[in-house]
Structure 1
Amino acid sequence: EAEVLEGVGAGTVAVLAEVLPCLLPAGLERRVELRTLGVARVPLTEAIDRLAGLERDPGWWRRLYDSLSGIDPDRLSGLPVPLAGTASRGGDPDAPAVPRTTIGPRQILLPLPDALTGPVLDRLGRLGLKVAHPDAAHPLLEKLGALPATPRAVLTTPQVRAAVAGSLDAGEIWDEDALDGDELVDTVLTLVRDADLVPGDEPWLGALALPDEDGEPAPAGELVLPGSPFAAVMREGELALCDEELAGRWGEQPLTACGVLATFALVRATDVVLDPDELEPRDGDFAESDDAGLLDAVDVWCEDILDQLPDTVVPPVATELVAVRDLDLVDDDAWPQALAMLARPPLRDALTQPVRVLLPDGTTQSVRPYTAWWLRDHPVLDGRRPAGLRAEGGDPRLAGLYDPADATGFDDAQVLRALGVRTSVAALLDEPGGAAELLGRLADEDRPVGPVQLHSLYTALAELDPEQVTLPDELRAVVDGEVRVVDAADAVIADAPDLLPLTGGLPLLPVAPANAAELAELFQVRRLGESVEAEVTSEGEERQVPESVRVLLGPGTPDTYVEHGELRAGGVELDWRRTPDGTVHAATLEGVAAGLAWAAGQWPRRFEVAALLEDPSRTGELARDRWFD
């Protein structure tokens, strides 16, 4: 019955001899005498096959693996592996417990040092997972196909996923080997904690049954973490709270990674077809992080987006959609806190970053993100819808045109703009449709606007590309010093200060001189200097412009001007007039100063010119003052 084991070292023979007593010591396989005696030669693969079903302590198996480290892996594919959590006493209650084995290391989970505890390993075995006994774990097993049992690798096995998916109904099916609800929760939360998962890493964990505040099982994805920011802003009774004792024991990280809400959840989806009829929540046991159908009124958002885009046979596609879920669950009084949450990363991008839409012809357009769209149409700021409000204390040029909203403590201008709150004229005009909105409000007689404010607004509008602006039917203008709404066709650009005395009853559009031509082009209206005839009819005497004035006003200063005792033009007495040929006519000192400053393109210097003309000795004083311009 003696046998010789071929192709192994003395260490392997010594270990196997403990269970195969007929093995002769190593080193005798080449002896001629053994051949003469007919001693059987046993290949290693056959010896390994004989180990099937053998129950030995894990330390013995580890010694065997250690002795086989240099052997060709192809000869070891059938090597038994002792499993964790499968202790057996072989029918003898007094015998030491030894683990059962499985054939072949491939797909066996190999415990890592300090990664999984004994109770967890035992529970994994009851879930049907094959985990090598930690005392038998050896690098050889990994070479032979065993998988390192990292917490995430274990968590994502089909057995654990199936247990999570069926956890809500687990109590209805009797299985003495199955984990009860508490054991499954502890096992899964341990793995989630040790894997250091964050919300959204494994969305299917949302189906894990956890006890709610009343002790009843509920899917993790439908629970809220007690004391969390989301619990503070959620309307009472919308979602159940997670059991407080469970939350205190495990903390936020593993619970939120399983879908318990501590803050707003994000939907992140790519290549979303913008078809309102298709944007429905998916059927399933858990909320998927890329399911756009979970968003409240997302079909209405989609319809609004489609209204802004060209009609196409094939629906356009949102290349990437990032949106905040559950906005409809916020309590009306909690919006200040909710907006503060939304203004912080990672939620902030869902509010401020436009959505890029790919059209069938290959072109793209940017549209308002879902989160901003939803918030604009709900009373989330100061109890009112934010669209059409202005931040109190913001750009004074918007005063009267927009109702103020108290945004105290909420000074994120980009977020306010995303909400539709107007913070500045520049931001308003930079937004698609902003110019039309501003002009529409200027045409509203019930919204008060002052002349100085109107001047600043028209100066800003003049800088726009005419293709961006639809010609308005009505404009706000200054008529005899009073700001009124007039027909756009009647309005005139106020581009000639010398002609203002001739504009009685004429609706004037005030604008910075440098922008007068652009505003006339933008609105397709006349300019005052081109539309009012004001030929000088009085006689005057030509005068030289003083050198001090020429130095002050620069090279554009005329050499001469015409002084009148009484200046008449267009049938009206004027202080000054600059005729189309560039000649300055003036009847008063202030008129000379204004005419020369206007002709030189130095209108703000007119008061200095007047001071010089009145008292030439102040030349040095005024020159020093210009150091500080």
Structure 2
Amino acid sequence: MPHRDLADPFGTAALREGILSAWASSPTRLREDAATESDYVRAGYRDRVLTELAQNAADAAARAELPGVLRVWCDGTGLHVANIGEPLDEPGVHALTALRSSGKTGGVGRFGVGFTAVLAVSEEIEVRSRTGSILFSADRTRAVLDDHGLTAPAAGVPTLRLAWPSTTPPVEGSDTEVVLRLRPDVDAGALLAAFRDEAYDILLELPALRTVEIDGDALERTEHDLDNGLREIGIGDRTWWEHTGPSARWLVPVVDDRVRPVRRDVLRAPTRSDEELSLPALLVADVAMQPDRRRILPGTPLDRVAAGYARLVAALPADQRLDLVPEPGFARSEVDGRIREAVLEELRTHPWLPAADGGADLLPDRANALPGLTDELAATLGGVVPGLIAPELCRPRHAPALAAVDVHRLGLARLAEMLAGHDREPQWWNRLYEALTPLVTDAVAAEELASLPVPLSDGRTVTGPRTTVLSTGLQEIGPLRMPWVRLVHPDAAHPLLARLGAGTVTAEDLLADPALVTAVEELDPDDPGFGDPGLGDALSAEALADVVLRLVPLVPPSAVPRELGALLLPDTHGDLVPADELLLPGAPLAEVLVDDAPFGTLGPAVADRYGPDALRAVGVGWGFTVLRADLPTGPDHDLPDEDLWWDGLDDDPETLVAVRDLDLVDDGHWARALTLLAADPATAETLTDPAGYTAWYLRTHAVLDGRPLGHYRFADDTTFEGLLDPCTHPDAGAFRAALAGTSIDDLDLAQTLLDRLADPEASPGPAAIVAAHTALAAAFSSGGLDPESVTLPDGVRSLAGSVVDATDALVADRPWFAGLIPHDRLVVGGPGTATALSEVLDIAVASAVIEAEPAEPGRRTGWDREPAAILASTVTGVPLPRGRLALHDRLVVRCTGALTGEHEVDWWVDAAGTVHSTPSGLAAALVALRETGPSAP
């Protein structure tokens, strides 16, 4: 309808007359209209000025099929609200004045009463449209009432019941403009500020509006479809993701591509109501509302509004989906409780939970959440634990949301049960243990995994780490089949198992296991299998040998139990023979053994497979084998003549280290055997202890050039020089401890020395003669050797180096006799050996066959009174004795018996114990008497 300046295009005059007639005929109707309008303003439509005008603008734009634009600005005291779209028409004017009806057949405002919201800020309202304009005025309404003799009600005049035509057109660029003359108590700036905040909600709630401009600040709504089926809504710098269901639209704010749950809002139908909600998303629903659109109509069904919510959640990135599950808690209203329950039921009955394996989304009641699940653990558990949800949803903060939709919480104990019976490679179990490690944070978690399956080295899988043992250092040799021990497969071994109670063993522990030793000892050469049924499956001799020979390279040779020498291995004929009765192919030991040595040769295939080091560790010979035993208690180590060596020990050794099988060396091959012993560090070590078994055995049994090794001296050792020949073997330095030393521990050496001492062809020096006599005296006097077991020669060796008849020889049993007896008759040993030496050599002691006294009494004096004595004490460091002293310028002793005549000496002790001495003899006397005393033998 074209605009006419002074005309009344909408018939407002007739409308006024009709309304005035009704009021005149019924004052109650006037009061009712005034009260109704007042109630709408004060209650139903309070604070809804922009919302109600925006609804009308949205409906106008929708009917005109135009993108709606709403502009708001202030001009002095006038608030202008302009829009584009279908202009004002006569039914619309009738609806505006009717309070209880609307001329709209679609859109939002169905009841025609929302316009009353403008009365909250204005009492003079002008609606300008390109089809005509109308004016509502409280003052003009009041004047008309006065003109008609009607009294204004106490609630005030019903301003929006009477309309007058206006000639003012809408602002250029708009189809309709509402102008509100603000009351003096209304703050225009605050009102516009509130409108700016409200503009975001209006553009969300009313899709027909594209732009809202508040006092020059324009907000525009943009939207586009996303690949996930959602629509992205942009308003200014804010973003929402929207999903449209059959009866509702759901919108959730988004910041940096991540949803920000709302948690607290109101039902929008489509604009905000007073029905409080606690949902994570904004709900714009098509539900029946009361006329003021603040509350739903009683009995309105709400379950349909949740339809499609699960699709909204399923469209989100996996790690954000649980953010849109309503949080547990009390509902904010009855409506909130009903919608929350409908939403949760929607989520419970539709698949939307992302699967850990990347497959189809899961229904909550078929899903499992493992708290703390990681990507690594999820990848490992794929195909083992059904219905496992994505790891990002298994964090502690998501637990309430998962519980709200009835997702099953999978504990570690249940996980351990679910893993039982699954056949997987050991590497898979290792990955599982690695992935489980971050979840085992305390003793409770460890206890829950008490029944975790563990693959064993022998191919079995058992329940519970506490029943297993972990090996250290066995990864390189691969799995071992040892039925008697629950050894974790090396490819599955992981520190987590130790935390869960698994024990730890080393290769040394496994080799020392009594069950292994028993199994080896019970092997039957005629029965390739072995074992007690209680130990599990029987192992063949070959399988048992494989276990042992793969373990021994991991331990020091000394840690290999000697009982493992009974391990059966095939010889060159294929017969099973104990390892310690075999030699490696090409073993140099074979060159030095007697022809009937009880050794076979190991089969070459076994030698090639395991190598010489492993085989030698269990006793297979190459060179000589070393036996080691800690804290031995007796000669029970199967060493030849071990009991004889043991009898010669003063104390049990702390460790027995000895070379085995020396009794099998051919006497003609000892030179080569000694070379082998010296070349091997293990055997060379045993040669360094003169008191050790190996040196003792070589000294007494090894033969070089027809003589025992112990009858040779080391080339640089002059102890028995001239009596024993030096050893010329090139490795003599290595077995020096096995050569003759300073002592005699066998009869053959004693006999040899006796014979060489009596041999005029020998030419020992005085030191060697004394050393030999000292050693002989010590050997026989200690009880180590029996004097009756040797044959004494007729002659003995004097200090002068001559061989003298034993009947003429004398032993100086008193030190002062040594200066009296001629050197060619004097037989001397070390200090204190005189008696023993005379018994060993069967020669007389001087004091028994010679009587002698000084020819002159000398000058009687005291030791401490003689300068020469003091000087002798100072020089020798020997304290002065307290006995009597007689000094002589020249001391002569008269002798009878085996030695007669007068003999000059430097010092003497007479029968009374008086020391006689020349000044030059005092020092010798002091030294001798310090050791023996005047009457010592």
> TM-score per shorter chain, which class?
0.5 to 0.7
CA contact under 8 A between 2:720 and 2:769: conserved in structure 1? no
* TM-score for the superposition, normalised by structure 1: 0.56
User: Does the alignment pair 1:74 with 2:447?
Assistant: yes
User: Does the alignment pair 1:525 with 2:885?
Assistant: no
Map of 1:209 onto structure 2: 568
Map of 2:373 onto structure 1: 9
CA contact under 8 A between 1:4 and 1:29: conserved in structure 2? no
* Structure 1, unaligned runs of 5 or more: 87-99, 280-291, 310-315, 355-367, 422-426, 536-560, 562-569, 571-576, 583-597, 602-629
How far has the Cα of 1:73 moved from its partner?
Answer: 2.3
| 2:594 equivalent among 216, 235, 240 | 235
| 1:144 equivalent among 474, 480, 500 | 500
How far has the Cα of 1:9 moved from its partner?
Answer: 3.4
Map of 1:382 onto structure 2: 705
Distance 1:130 1:520 in 2: 70
- Counterparts in 2 of 1:62-461, with a 5 A limit? 64-71=432-439, 72-82=445-455, 86=459, 101-108=461-468, 115-116=475-476, 120-121=478-479, 124=481, 130-132=487-489, 134=491, 138-146=494-502, 164-169=520-525, 171=527, 173=529, 180-193=540-553, 195=554, 197-198=556-557, 201-238=560-597, 239-273=599-633, 279=635, 292-302=636-646, 304-305=647-648, 317-343=652-678, 345-348=681-684, 350-353=686-689, 368-378=691-701, 380-388=703-711, 395=718, 398-399=721-722, 401=723, 404=725, 407-412=728-733, 415=735, 418-419=738-739, 421=740, 427-428=741-742, 441=754, 447-448=759-760, 453=764, 455-457=766-768
How far has the Cα of 1:330 moved from its partner?
Answer: 0.9
How far has the Cα of 1:447 moved from its partner?
Answer: 2.0
Bigger Rg over Cα: 2
How far has the Cα of 1:382 moved from its partner?
Answer: 1.7
How far has the Cα of 1:298 moved from its partner?
Answer: 2.5
Paired residue secondary structure (1:338): helix
Map of 1:627 onto structure 2: none
Give the residue type in structure 2 aligned to 1:222. Answer: E
Give the residue type in structure 1 aligned to 2:689. Answer: Q
1:458-509 alpha-carbon deviations (Å, 9 max, x no partner): 6668999999996999854499988433344598999999999xx8xx9633
1:4-32 alpha-carbon deviations (Å, 9 max, x no partner): 54643364578657444355664596447
How far has the Cα of 1:184 moved from its partner?
Answer: 4.4
Give the residue type in structure 2 aligned to 1:409. Answer: P
Paired residue secondary structure (1:409): coil
How far has the Cα of 1:64 moved from its partner?
Answer: 4.2
Give the residue type in structure 2 aligned to 1:9. Answer: L
Map of 2:826 onto structure 1: 509
1:130-177 alpha-carbon deviations (Å, 9 max, x no partner): 54473x555433433446786556656677656544554584559997
CA contact under 8 A between 2:689 and 2:737: conserved in structure 1? no
| 2:420 equivalent among 45, 52, 57 | 52
1:266-307 alpha-carbon deviations (Å, 9 max, x no partner): 333455445xxxx4xxxxxxxxxxxx34012323444x538x
Give the residue type in structure 2 aligned to 1:247. Answer: A
Distance 1:479 1:61 in 2: 88
Distance 2:720 2:490 in 1: 75
1:18-67 alpha-carbon deviations (Å, 9 max, x no partner): 444355664596447955x7665543312322322134566765554444
1:417-467 alpha-carbon deviations (Å, 9 max, x no partner): 634x4xxxxx53x56899x9599827x8852267x8465556668999999
1:383-426 alpha-carbon deviations (Å, 9 max, x no partner): 23345566799759753x55x586443533x845634x4xxxxx
Give the residue type in structure 2 aligned to 1:259. Answer: G
Q: CA, structure 1 residues 508+517, in 2 after alignment: closer, same or farther (shift >3 Å)?
A: farther
Paired residue secondary structure (1:102): strand
Distance 2:387 2:831 in 1: 110
- Counterparts in 2 of 1:473-622, with a 5 A limit? 476-477=797-798, 483-489=804-810, 508-509=825-826, 525=846
CA contact under 8 A between 2:689 and 2:695: conserved in structure 1? no
Give the residue type in structure 1 aligned to 2:657. Answer: V
Map of 2:85 onto structure 1: none
Give the residue type in structure 2 aligned to 1:305. Answer: G
Q: CA, structure 1 residues 478+467, in 2 after alignment: closer, same or farther (shift >3 Å)?
A: closer
Map of 1:284 onto structure 2: none
* TM-score for the superposition, normalised by structure 2: 0.40
Identity, % of aligned pairs?
A: 30
Q: CA, structure 1 residues 469+141, in 2 after alignment: closer, same or farther (shift >3 Å)?
A: closer
Distance 1:476 1:74 in 2: 87
Distance 2:434 2:852 in 1: 103
How far has the Cα of 1:259 moved from its partner?
Answer: 1.4
Q: CA, structure 1 residues 329+73, in 2 after alignment: closer, same or farther (shift >3 Å)?
A: same
When structure 1 is superposed on structure 2, of 462-471 and 58-67 the one drifting more is 462-471
CA contact under 8 A between 1:477 and 1:484: conserved in structure 2? no
How far has the Cα of 1:265 moved from its partner?
Answer: 2.7
Map of 2:197 onto structure 1: none
Q: CA, structure 1 residues 299+393, in 2 after alignment: closer, same or farther (shift >3 Å)?
A: closer
Distance 1:481 1:41 in 2: 107
1:321-346 alpha-carbon deviations (Å, 9 max, x no partner): 43332121111211112233445654
Distance 2:705 2:398 in 1: 92
Give the residue type in structure 1 aligned to 2:805. Answer: R
Q: CA, structure 1 residues 24+205, in 2 after alignment: closer, same or farther (shift >3 Å)?
A: same
Give the residue type in structure 1 aligned to 2:564. Answer: L
Q: CA, structure 1 residues 9+467, in 2 after alignment: closer, same or farther (shift >3 Å)?
A: closer
How far has the Cα of 1:253 moved from its partner?
Answer: 0.4
Paired residue secondary structure (1:69): helix
How far has the Cα of 1:241 moved from its partner?
Answer: 1.7
Give the residue type in structure 1 aligned to 2:825. Answer: L
Paired residue secondary structure (1:340): helix
CA contact under 8 A between 1:379 and 1:385: conserved in structure 2? yes
Q: CA, structure 1 residues 232+492, in 2 after alignment: closer, same or farther (shift >3 Å)?
A: same
How far has the Cα of 1:102 moved from its partner?
Answer: 3.0
1:182-211 alpha-carbon deviations (Å, 9 max, x no partner): 454444323333x15426523343222111
Distance 2:685 2:837 in 1: 35
CA contact under 8 A between 1:376 and 1:386: conserved in structure 2? yes
